[in-house]
Structure 1
Amino acid sequence: MLAGRPGDRTSSGGAVWWRYSVAGGVGLVVLLAVAGPLFAPYPGEKAVGMPFAQPGGGALLGTDRLGRDVLSHLLTGGTHLLAVSAVIAVAVTVLSAVLGAVAAVRPRAGKVIELCGDLVILLPAVLGILLVLTAWPQGGVTALIAVSLLFGVPYCARIFAASAASIAASGYVEAAVASGESVSHLVFREILPNLRAVFTTQLGLRFVVAIYLVSTIAFLGVPALGPDNWAIMVRDNASGLLLNPWAVLAPSAAIAIVAVGVNLVVTSGPRNRQAPKTPSDVSAVGVAKAGVELGSGRALGAESAGVARPVGAGSDGNAGVARVPRGAGSAGGSGRSGGCGISVVDSGDAAVVEGLSVVADSGAVLVAPLSFRLKAGTVTALTGASGAGKSTAMRALLGHLPAGARGEGAVLVAGYDVFALDAGALRKFRREHIAYVGQDPGSELNPLLRVRAVLADAAPGRSDADHLAVLERVGLDPTHLRRRCARLSGGQQRRVALARAILRRPRILVLDEPLAGLHGTLRTEIAQLISALATENSTTVLLSGHDTEAINAIADTLIELHPPGAQLVNGTAGVAESGADPHPPVNIGAGVADSAGDPGPSAETPADRNGHRLLNPDSADTASPNPDSAGSASPASDPTGGGEVIAVHAKGINADAGGHPVLENIGFSLSAGAALAVVGPSGAGKTTLARVIAGLHTGAVGSLEVLGRPVPLGRRPRIKPDPKGIQLVTQNPRAALNPRRTVEQALARPLRRIARVPTREIPTRITALLAAVDLPADLAARRPHQLSGGQRQRVALARALAADPAVLICDEITTALDTTTAAAIMSLLDRVRADRGTAVVLISHDMTLVRGHCTDLLVLDQGRVVETGTPATVLTTPTHRATAALLG
């Protein structure tokens, strides 16, 4: 639901009221159990009347079999039961969480834990506990807690291990592994904080199980607990159930209320119960009055800051400006009357966005007021700088806003007011009318499913022939049907996600960065496919991207968004005149100040018959007259006077994945301060090579040296926390940062631990790092979900630079960035190379960046090196078909 809209609070108010009512009732019972002895009318063991007397007089619940006051006994009998149950629940949950996390980051240890758990699970838990307590009666409560751990941890640890496995495979955990973090840091700082939901649920469930277990032990008369206990009350008074039922029902109800109530509290949540609106109900959709406070300390004005307009229209302060190059007319919402609703919906409107604005829970404006219309059978593109709100605006068409975000405005899609639909109707709307492919498709595909299963789940009624046809349309051959999503490259995952969306044949297709991570020829083919979907299938397409040339070729309407708060100069975002250099020299590492400058001139290395420099002397595809120096780029002077410094030397690298060879006989040398571009089609093995060098791919053999030091391959951990080590920036910006940490915390860790920056200097260094990657200092307080994909990518780069690496591996780090920001980031890397001697390995499909910023080029195809040399030579006169395909 769009926060702030009428009815938001009432739509889930009943569920929230029920949840807190249950929590309050449980809390009251627990409080009475803990503090009960203070309120008991009589001592718990004092006889006050005849046995099993009915309620009345001084005994509100009557008496038990010994004439004791049932109420007093009830108030004094819960403390011991709940205390023992709580200790068991906490101990089992904490130990299970730690073991599960260790199993996720250390598979070998995980196998041992799993084996031990299997042996324990063979014996039924209750039977095992009874046997131990009967044989060890003097053990008491200590014995009960110990055997509860023995029989409870194996099962619970399995649950935590399964949940932690996906986290251990995420980008931020792998970045920590590559940085040499200890197992304790991985477990307690990276994984467990992100298992809070699982931990809370398991803690509640373990508490319920513990209550039943302790009650059962007490009821059976096993000598492990004291006599003052709710369960013992039930056992001892069962014979007088007909005389005074309260003697049995009261303690039974107390046990049930606490057990069931705790379970409800930890598993229940608010539900949206608002009835859906049908298309006929939403011909005109009301929106909240513009200018209302959104909790950010800033009122959004009544004027729309994002209304689309034709080419040439004057600047009116709008944050979103549309250009209509094909004469399609203004895409802006017409006739908005005082911000009170969508005035007219034309028959050709597939979607109408009117005055949409979104503010995060932190108060940051994610989308400035934006209005546009999508015409049926057309392609509309959202462009603009990273952080302008493109992804947020696109997801709004699906009725989805970031967690905790507040907003205003109206979104009408296929005749439905998406923000007025309840959960069930919203799922039905998404299933039948719209399809979405995010900019990080790898996180949207189940890594364990095969492509065939992914396509079958998306469109159950489609045949195998349909699956093959749609794969062919996105440039994948039939063999991909049998492959698991986890075994696909980033570009292949993007195409599978697109194929899944196309197979559903939606009326509206929303594509966030569909051309990112694709090489030249494939990028052109996918762009043509998107255009054909609109013209031939009458599909309405809304997409985003930074490839201006490709987008201009297929889009009927362009809507340019600017970051909220950006000043507009002649209708475009400008920079306030402050007299400051937008890219000042910054101090980003262990203490050496950067200075602006271009990388030094490139020195020529041995060449083959075609004039291509030889970077792969160990590959069978090339031969080098001087293998020891092959592949070195611009030489860096050695302070000791020893000549050129080789930052990284790889030889004979082979890697397997799932039993299939991915890399074969890869080798190269790279000098300090040089930049090697690794390029090739999707699935060529580029990312695998990056992971091998970073120490994240265990199925690899060969030799690797960093600054002359041997670095083992194929096992973890193998990199010590060294300021002259290896850092990897992955191509997945969503998974690159720990969601529980702020940007400041993410950057402070490598500064303090690896670069050894004094604590008092860390805030200054963080500000400098953010400025270096073209981010404002106020982003330091945000968490990853409050950043755009491009901003997350730049924070990940800043984190890598904070460690002052000798080798920096950048895997598609510019795909989520606009052209200006990408150029600024590459210029920053040029300065880092020149001033620090950092060697950069860049994986990219952008040949313009490769030409302008890399000294050497290595082309991979099907896991082999097929061409090497300088970018100018290789890209001007390519000799292999894979290289020619990169140029489109």
Structure 2
Amino acid sequence: MTGNGTTARRVQDGPLAEISGLTVGPVSGGPPVLHDACLSVAPGQVLGVVGRSGSGKSSLAHSLLGHVRPGLEVRSGTVRVAQLDPFAPADAGRLRGRVVSFLGQDPASSLNPALQIGTQIAEAVRLRSAVRRVSEVRARVEELLLSVRLPADRAFRRRVPWQLSGGQAQRVGLALALAGTPRLLVLDEPTSGLDTVLADAVRGLLAEALCDGDRAALLVSHDPAWIASVADEVIRLEGGRTVTAGPAKRPVPVLPRARSRTAGPGARRPQDVTAAGGLHVRGLHAAHGRVAVLHDVSLTVPAGSCTAVVGPSGSGKTTLARCLAGLHLPARGSARWRETGAERGRGTAVQLVAQDARGALNPRESVRTALLRPLRGIGRRPADDALEEAVRLLGLVGLEEAVLTRRPGELSGGQRQRVALARTLAAQPRALVCDEITSALDPDTASGILDLLDSLRSTTGLTVVMVTHDLTAVARRAERVVVLDGGRVVEDGPVERVLVTPEHPRTRELLAHAGDPLLAVPE
């Protein structure tokens, strides 16, 4: 399918969903997160929504399901979907999952951690469709899993959410969204946790789902190329206001990926580090229960360097990241940090910034509490100094002091991710394992976060392991890249060699779906 209404997808007259004058703000008062927002989505239309992290995109999307984040309230305006009010309890029950379905930035948080994947999808099929017979429900579950490129065998259906990778959880969430026959799909960064190959596959799946002339979609994304290719109309939010709106075929300022201000591969890095220090992984095997995930993984990350870990969704990247941080006990082998003399007594060794920021932060704690705990406990700072440092850390990741009083549920996905990074930096780690930390951020904010990590490497000798699907970020920031496939290291080498002359078929496949990441590296 091509965008801008040039396919068989037919935009019908009259809105399927309409928002008029919607203002949403904190219950306690203060500036609104959405101010006088308006939009209209007709049957068969794809509306793209773009803007910086924290600009109100997710709040706008959530309103179509009659939902606002904790601590917020609707101050004025109306929302209608299929002529019903999603904020009215009686109408919400008729709309959710049947007329309108949602896939958010944190799909894992919407899955019941105690229920098997197959059971959750089966319940969604029974609740949201006319399918009732056990054999028909099972067949529909298998069809949905296969449609999102996941195994449909009994062993996979019996997995629980914590046994899934971030990309697998994303696709299970998509299967749940498609379990009924929704007329409106609300998609908030639906490919953020996927590798380049699967992202293309899911985009194709969504294109097929939208070929129905009666189905519409609201698509929130930081990927301007995808927005331009699939959307009929695009609106841009800035500070909760709609500042740009128009056809996707017309150039729209959608915050294109900012070019890094740092040097590319081969740049000069701190020279006061030694090869002896750093992360050393030898013969690492890891499993989830009886399911083996990592097989004989060995790699070395010298102190002060940046190594990228890439691979297909489900290849074991997140499990490796947790092993490096000491959060997952390996079955065999070791992952150890060897410190240099200059590091003794400074901070903690290895800290993880998790992909699921919502799950990593205590939903009952304010940002202030989350930051002060490591500052007071590990850094042993006096209360006043700790609070001052907390404000400084928020500023480093691009957040204002007002965020201190909020809880995770009151923040956007991008804001949560930056709070998680600030909390990790508060522990003064010598090595930082970053698991998809920019997937929920707009390109400018993501570039700023990566600039910050580069700066910390230069000034403090911080070691970075970057788990990512963004091969352009790999080309810009890393010196070395490790490729995982099926839980094994299939390629390991300097970035310039691996991205230019890849040796393994899986590496070549990932690069084929990513364009040419080296074109984005400054001269």
The TM-score normalised by the length of structure 2 is 0.85
Assess if the C-alpha contact under 8 Å between 2:20 and 2:38 holds in 1: yes
Letter in 2 for 1:392: S
1:761 CA drift (Å):
2.3
Assess if the C-alpha contact under 8 Å between 1:599 and 1:834 holds in 2: no
Q: Distance in 2 between matches of 1:600 and 1:456?
A: 48
Matched, 1:459 2:125: yes
Q: Distance in 2 between matches of 1:831 and 1:466?
A: 50
1:566 CA drift (Å):
11
- Partner of 1:541 in structure 2? 217
Tell me the SS of whatever aligns to 1:883. Answer: helix
Tell me the SS of whatever aligns to 2:217. Answer: strand
1:688 CA drift (Å):
0.4
Q: How does 1:246-645 map to 2 (within 5 A)?
A: 326=4, 347-362=13-28, 363-407=30-74, 408-419=76-87, 421=88, 423-460=89-126, 461=131, 462-479=136-153, 480-536=156-212, 538-564=214-240, 601=266, 636-638=271-273, 643-645=274-276
Per-residue displacement from partner, 1:661-695 (whole Å, max 9, x unpaired)?
Answer: 11111111111211111111111000001111111
Assess if the C-alpha contact under 8 Å between 1:597 and 1:831 holds in 2: no
- Partner of 1:841 in structure 2? 465
Higher strand share: 2
Percentage identity across aligned positions? 40
Assess if the C-alpha contact under 8 Å between 1:528 and 1:554 holds in 2: no
- Partner of 1:104 in structure 2? none
1:394 CA drift (Å):
0.9
Q: Distance in 1 between matches of 2:419 and 2:190?
A: 22
- Partner of 1:786 in structure 2? 410
RMSD of aligned C-alpha atoms?
2.7
- Partner of 1:674 in structure 2? 305
Q: How does 1:62-141 map to 2 (within 5 A)?
A: none
Letter in 1 for 2:120: V
Assess if the C-alpha contact under 8 Å between 1:349 and 1:376 holds in 2: yes
Change (3 A) 1:458 1:795: same
Q: Distance in 1 between matches of 2:349 and 2:221?
A: 34
Letter in 2 for 1:475: R
Assess if the C-alpha contact under 8 Å between 2:264 and 2:475 holds in 1: no
Q: Distance in 2 between matches of 1:388 and 1:560?
A: 9
- Partner of 2:324 in structure 1? 693
Letter in 2 for 1:368: H
Letter in 1 for 2:170: R
1:886 CA drift (Å):
2.1
- Partner of 1:808 in structure 2? 432
1:438 CA drift (Å):
1.6
Q: Distance in 2 between matches of 1:457 and 1:672?
A: 49
Assess if the C-alpha contact under 8 Å between 1:387 and 1:788 holds in 2: yes
Tell me the SS of whatever aligns to 1:745. Answer: helix
Tell me the SS of whatever aligns to 1:349. Answer: coil
Q: Distance in 1 between matches of 2:401 and 2:353?
A: 21
Assess if the C-alpha contact under 8 Å between 1:770 and 1:776 holds in 2: yes
Assess if the C-alpha contact under 8 Å between 1:473 and 1:529 holds in 2: yes
Change (3 A) 1:433 1:686: same
Q: Distance in 2 between matches of 1:544 and 1:600?
A: 32
Assess if the C-alpha contact under 8 Å between 1:562 and 1:572 holds in 2: no
> Structure 2 stretches of 5 or more lacking a match?
7-11, 245-250, 256-260, 514-523
Q: Distance in 1 between matches of 2:383 and 2:423?
A: 16
1:537 CA drift (Å):
6.0
1:525 CA drift (Å):
1.5
Letter in 2 for 1:372: L
Q: Distance in 1 between matches of 2:388 and 2:254?
A: 28
Tell me the SS of whatever aligns to 1:792. Answer: helix
1:458 CA drift (Å):
0.8
Letter in 2 for 1:397: L
- Partner of 2:334 in structure 1? 703
1:482 CA drift (Å):
3.7
- Partner of 1:660 in structure 2? 291
Assess if the C-alpha contact under 8 Å between 2:121 and 2:179 holds in 1: yes
Q: Distance in 2 between matches of 1:834 and 1:600?
A: 15
Q: Distance in 1 between matches of 2:5 and 2:443?
A: 26
Tell me the SS of whatever aligns to 2:359. Answer: coil
1:364 CA drift (Å):
3.9
Which protein has greater RCO, CA pairs closer than 8 Å, 6+ apart?
Answer: 2
Change (3 A) 1:398 1:764: same
Assess if the C-alpha contact under 8 Å between 2:236 and 2:254 holds in 1: no
Change (3 A) 1:424 1:566: closer
Letter in 2 for 1:559: I
Assess if the C-alpha contact under 8 Å between 1:636 and 1:644 holds in 2: no
Letter in 2 for 1:361: V
Change (3 A) 1:804 1:599: farther
1:597 CA drift (Å):
7.3
Per-residue displacement from partner, 1:183-215 (whole Å, max 9, x unpaired)?
Answer: xxxxxxxxxxxxxxxxxxxxxxxxxxxxxxxxx
Equivalent position to 1:727, from 340, 343, 351: 351
Per-residue displacement from partner, 1:111-168 (whole Å, max 9, x unpaired)?
Answer: xxxxxxxxxxxxxxxxxxxxxxxxxxxxxxxxxxxxxxxxxxxxxxxxxxxxxxxxxx
Higher helix share: 1
1:844 CA drift (Å):
0.6
Q: Distance in 2 between matches of 1:537 and 1:599?
A: 46
> Structure 1 stretches of 5 or more lacking a match?
1-324, 329-345, 575-595, 604-633, 710-719
Tell me the SS of whatever aligns to 1:514. Answer: coil
Assess if the C-alpha contact under 8 Å between 1:645 and 1:671 holds in 2: yes
Tell me the SS of whatever aligns to 1:875. Answer: helix
Change (3 A) 1:678 1:546: same
Letter in 2 for 1:440: D
Assess if the C-alpha contact under 8 Å between 2:283 and 2:297 holds in 1: yes
Assess if the C-alpha contact under 8 Å between 1:860 and 1:867 holds in 2: yes
Q: Distance in 2 between matches of 1:600 and 1:862?
A: 27
Matched, 1:749 2:373: yes
1:436 CA drift (Å):
1.2
Tell me the SS of whatever aligns to 2:212. Answer: helix
Matched, 1:799 2:423: yes
Assess if the C-alpha contact under 8 Å between 1:736 and 1:792 holds in 2: no
Assess if the C-alpha contact under 8 Å between 1:635 and 1:671 holds in 2: no
Assess if the C-alpha contact under 8 Å between 2:270 and 2:458 holds in 1: no
Per-residue displacement from partner, 1:746-798 (whole Å, max 9, x unpaired)?
Answer: 21221222223343322332222111111122222222222111001001101
Q: Distance in 1 between matches of 2:377 and 2:263?
A: 30
Per-residue displacement from partner, 1:239-259 (whole Å, max 9, x unpaired)?
Answer: xxxxxxxxxxxxxxxxxxxxx
Tell me the SS of whatever aligns to 1:867. Answer: strand
The TM-score normalised by the length of structure 1 is 0.51
Matched, 1:775 2:399: yes
- Partner of 1:76 in structure 2? none
- Partner of 2:520 in structure 1? none
Which stretch has the larger CA shift, 820-829 or 374-383? Answer: 374-383
Q: Distance in 2 between matches of 1:403 and 1:637?
A: 47
Change (3 A) 1:399 1:879: same
Q: Distance in 2 between matches of 1:747 and 1:868?
A: 36
Q: Distance in 2 between matches of 1:542 and 1:600?
A: 38
Q: Distance in 2 between matches of 1:368 and 1:879?
A: 52
Assess if the C-alpha contact under 8 Å between 2:270 and 2:457 holds in 1: no
Name the count of aligned residue pairs.
480
